[in-house]
Structures are given as C-alpha cells and as structure tokens.
Amino acid sequence: MWLWRGVWWSGGRRRSRLAGTALGVVLLAAAAHAQPAPIPSIFDPLSRPADEIYTLSLFVLGICAVIFVVVGGLLVTSIVRFRRRPDDDGREPPQVYGSNPIELAWTVVPLLIVFVLFLVTTRSIIAIERAAPPADALEVRVIGHQWWWEFRYPAQGVVTANELHVPAGRATFLTLESADVVHSFWVPQLNGKTDVIPNRVNRMWIEPRDAGLYIGQCAEYCGTQHARMLLRVVAHAPADFDAWVASQRGEAVHDPSVQAGRDLFQSVACINCHRIGGTVADGVFGPDLTHLMSRATIAAGAADNTAANLHAWIANPDALKPGALMPAMKLSDAQITQVVAYLTTLQ
C-alpha cells in the first residue's frame, strides 16, 4: 500500500492540480504552511534507510513491469490473432491438453520470481531492522496522540511537539509509542512506515544526508483528525542542532510585561493539559508549550504558528480542527488576547 501511495505522491508533483487526490491535497496544503518543503515522495529518498527501500522498490517494479509486458503482450496477441473472422465455420479449433514443457515453464518461472522477491525483500528488512544504533546515535521517544506528535529527547532533557529536530549525517533512532490509538509514523523521504501501537514499543531509524525540512504524515487512520496529524522533521548541521538543543533546554522565558496573560493561563484548565517549564503548568495530555514559538505550526500542521492563529485556535479549536480534543476555554476576546500575548513570548 505504501508503494502505491508513494506513486500517487510522486505523480502529484506534476498532476496534483488536475488530479487533486485527497492525500495529495492534504499534503500540498501542509507543505504550503510555513516555509515550502519538498513534496515527499518515496522516489526521492534523502536518507538511509529510504535509499535501500527505494532501490528495492525499483527492482520489484522492474520485475512487475516485465511480467506486465509479457502477460499483456500475450493477451493482446491472442485477442488480435485469434479473433472471430467472417469466414469462421463456428467450430472449436483443435484444443491442446497437457503440454509438459508449458506446464512446467509457467509453474517454475513464477516460483523462481516469488523466491527472488522474497529473498531480496527479506534481506532489506533484516538489514534495516537489525541495524544497531551507532555510538553517536541520537535517541528520541516518539509518542503518537490524537492528533499530534510528542517528541522526547531523554539524554538532552528536551520535549517538543510535531517538529522532530535531528542532526543531518548522523543516525537518529526512534522509539515509537502511542498514548491512545494506532498511528503510523511516516516521513517518505527518510524511511518507510512504522506503526505506532498502544502498549507496544516499536523502533525505527533515520539518517538524513542533508540539512533541510522533511514532511511526513500519520499513515494509519486514527480518528477524525487523522489527516491533520502532520510531521515536520528538521535536519540540522551538527552545530545548528546543538544550538537548537540548547534553545529548547531551558525553562520558559519570564516576561513581566505579559504577567496578566500568564496569571490568566495559570488560573484556567490549560495547565491540566499543557506544561510550561518553570510555571505551575505541568500537564502532559497536550503539547509542551515551554518553547511554543520555536515551532512553525500549531495543531500538528493545521495552521501557521502566528498570534492570529493562536487566538482563533484558543477561541474555538473545533473551528480550526473539527474534533480536536482541546476544548474551547470560554474566555472573552480580551482574555484570549492576554493569553496569546503571553504565549507568543515563549520562544
């Protein structure tokens, strides 16, 4: 299935405006947010192990193409050559039964093809799944939620949401967990899909060659907002990655000019679901907001992270993302403006 979706996406580069498949539209809409990102395609791998999957896909597609041409060719030849003609006498032509060489050929050849496909696929699966983390590998815990992604960096003491920051040219090993239902972590240019399953820990790894932004998407239907469960993977040059970690490490900035908004935030139920480092807000149900403004989008890619969108989101999350589990806090417009003023200081 991933292969065919990949085909769609790849074609979308040229056909999207005409075809407008649901996935293509979702993805293009997502890519339109914030800075433009390359449209993800499995035919444009930019990382291990996506390279290996790509090579394998080409090999499998090549064999399938040969089978298609041979079978299609025989079919067309038969239809044309043995079609009904005006001078047919209506009787059946002589029938051929039990030709041993033919029977043998069409049994053995498919068997060999399946065997070769099985071997090369198994070899790739084992090579990718059994790859041991190198000594300098980064470890990140990925937790799927309805409908956003939580990223925890245990060694660095960093927690963020929806944007996975990794170093380029170095392996990142991911531990995949779910807080609720089954999701699937998929960034086509970095690796294949891996399901994110409750009460189970899955592993996968990526190693983007170059710094850049890679777009992904939850690839397992997980409820109303499955389509708006976007992933942004930002690969940094090593020094930039260290700088990013340093910027995410500390507690939230304390800006006295937004004291009213901070007091308001801490007096309502926001703090039950969100954490802001250095304050009483220590909820874990929703995204960590300590460095909210360092992220490009809100609501897992549903909107750009701007003051206006934050305002609309807090006023009525359901309008921006129908079915979102964040409730409207029933604050007045002036109160929301205060809260947004506070939130936008959280660099």
Which residue, 166 or 218, has its beta carbon nearer to ligand CUA?
218
Q: Is 226 in the site for ligand CUA (CB under 6 A)?
A: yes
Q: Is 218 in the site for ligand CUA (CB under 6 A)?
A: yes
Among 150, 207, 220, 288, binds ligand CUA (CB under 6 A): 220
Interface with ligand CUA in residues 156-185 (CB under 6 A): 183
Q: Which stretch binds ligand CUA (CB under 6 A): 104-112, 205-213, 219-227, 241-249?
A: 219-227
Helices marked H in 167-275: 238-249, 259-267, 270-273
Q: List CB contacts of 44: < 8 A, sequence separation 6 or more.
A: 10, 38, 189
β-pair partners for 329: none
Q: Is 229 in the site for ligand CUA (CB under 6 A)?
A: yes
- Short-list 32, 24, 64, 58, CA closest to 43: 58
In whole angstroms, the minimum distance from the beta carbon of 240 to ligand CUA comes to 29
What are the respective helix, strand and coil percentages of the chain, to the nearest 5? 45, 20, 40
Which residue, 215 or 245, has its beta carbon nearer to ligand CUA?
215
> Residue 121's CB: how many other CB atoms inside 10 A?
13
Q: Is 68 in the site for ligand CUA (CB under 6 A)?
A: no
In whole angstroms, the minimum distance from the beta carbon of 6 to ligand CUA comes to 17
Q: Are 54 and 324 in contact (CB under 8 A)?
A: no
Which residue, 183 or 262, has its beta carbon nearer to ligand CUA?
183
Which residue, 204 or 229, has its beta carbon nearer to ligand CUA?
229
Here's the x/- map for ligand CUA, 121-160, by CB under 6 A: it reads as -----------------------x--x-------------
Using CA atoms in the order 167, 201, 283, 30, what is the torsion angle rounded to 10 degrees?
50
Q: Is 322 in the site for ligand CUA (CB under 6 A)?
A: no
Which residue, 277 or 317, has its beta carbon nearer to ligand CUA?
317
What residue ranges in the chain does DSSP mark as E strands?
A: 47-48, 138-145, 148-153, 158-161, 163-167, 172-178, 183-185, 194-196, 202-208, 212-217, 230-236, 297-298, 303-304
- Tell me the two tokens of residue 324: 């979102």
In whole angstroms, the minimum distance from the beta carbon of 325 to ligand CUA comes to 12
In whole angstroms, the minimum distance from the beta carbon of 148 to ligand CUA comes to 9
Return d(Cα 105, Cα 323) in angstroms, integer.
57
Write out the residues near ligand CUA by the rule CB under 6 A.
Answer: 144, 147, 183, 218, 220-222, 226, 229
